[in-house]
Structure 1
Amino acid sequence: MLHVLPYINEGFMLASALTMALGWWQIRRKRVEAHKRLMVTSVVLASLFFIGYATKTILVGDTSFGGPEHLRVTYQTFLQLHTVLATVGAVLGLLALRFIYKRSLRKHAKIGRVAAPVWFITTISGLGVFLMLYVIYPPGPTVNVFRAWLGQ
């Protein structure tokens, strides 16, 4: 079951980006209710990704890069950039949620215009990490998350 979790998690993340893109498209057409439903769906899917990822990381560990040694530094740089983007995207998303909860529509729209593209880039870079870890190259050993992140 543990070897399937990364695929399930990636599915959640891709579905989150798809529903966010559809929600963005809906609000540009002034379809507020459809936008709300799609964005809530996107947040739920992203949350399911995060819960699955955190659970696997805490209980099992993180998968190390199993590709060629000459690509290790490139992979680690890509992974760390993805991690920073994911953190920024999550913070911006939480701010957008806070503003809509407080009914600050202008602030919500302003932060959403930044948060959505950051989330799309995060999803694409996450797909790249997933492909390098599980599809293109055989997965490396599963180790403590901090050791994997530092490339040890």
Structure 2
Amino acid sequence: MSQTLQNNSKKYKIWIWILSIAIPIAVAILFTVRIPGVERLGFLPPIYATINGLTAILLVAAVIQIKSGNRKNHERLMKTAIILSALFLVMYVAYHMTSDSTSYGGEGALRYIYFFILISHILLSITVIPFVLITYVRAISGDFVNHRKIARITFPLWLYVAVTGVIVYVMISPYY
């Protein structure tokens, strides 16, 4: 790796780890906060579920673009996916700061399926944070060899989180 790439990598590495740890901790803490006097933001779940769906579509489109040699379109789509993911996170936290969590009311096998999807979604949504950040930094640093290597891991993780976010919403929406 060239000296410039090494310097860029070191420059971002600490920020990647700070964000990868701080974001899940902040979300967990904010889950315990209720904003007094603020009306419940019950309109947000279908919006942030839609954002998850759009993110999934953008991720697939971005892979298609890069495989077609359209690096600029790939870059635009990926930046948009990152922005949408950040927007999702803000809305998700805002909703939970104004509303109690909704309990799943399904029974039987669907209940086990729901909780499997929910738990795997939550765990992978935490896990994917450093992968997305590292993948992005390698791209903006011009380290495309290592970018491709980690993108092969990041893509399915991120896609799973985006798709299961929609599935969790669809499964729990009757109980809001």
Q: TM-score, normalised by structure 1?
A: 0.79
Taking only aligned residues, the RMSD between alpha carbons, in angstroms, comes to: 1.9
Q: Which runs of 5+ in 1 are unaligned?
A: 140-152
User: How far is 1:69 from its partner?
Assistant: 7.0
**Structure-2 residue corresponding to 1:101:** 140
Deviates more, 1:95-104 or 1:7-16: 95-104
SS at match of 1:61: coil
CA–CA distance in 2 between the matches of 1:19 and 1:73?
30
CA–CA distance in 2 between the matches of 1:65 and 1:46?
24
Sort the Cα spacing of 1:58 and 1:3 in 2 relative to 1 into closer, same or farther, 3 A. Answer: closer
CA–CA distance in 1 between the matches of 2:156 and 2:68?
18
**Structure-1 residue corresponding to 2:161:** 122
Sort the Cα spacing of 1:74 and 1:24 in 2 relative to 1 into closer, same or farther, 3 A. Answer: closer
For 1:60, which of 95, 99, 124 is the aligned residue? 99
CA–CA distance in 2 between the matches of 1:70 and 1:31?
44
Equivalenced residues, count: 137
**Structure-1 residue corresponding to 2:45:** 6
CA–CA distance in 1 between the matches of 2:149 and 2:109?
42
User: How far is 1:99 from its partner?
Assistant: 1.4
**Structure-2 residue corresponding to 1:143:** none
Q: Which runs of 5+ in 2 are unaligned?
A: 1-39
Identity over aligned pairs, percent = 26
**Structure-2 residue corresponding to 1:144:** none
For 2:115, which of 52, 59, 76 is the aligned residue? 76
User: How far is 1:5 from its partner?
Assistant: 0.5
**Are the equivalent residues in 2 in contact too, given 1:82–1:125 (CA < 8 A)?**
yes
Deviates more, 1:26-35 or 1:113-122: 113-122
Sort the Cα spacing of 1:17 and 1:78 in 2 relative to 1 into closer, same or farther, 3 A. Answer: closer
User: How far is 1:73 from its partner?
Assistant: 4.5
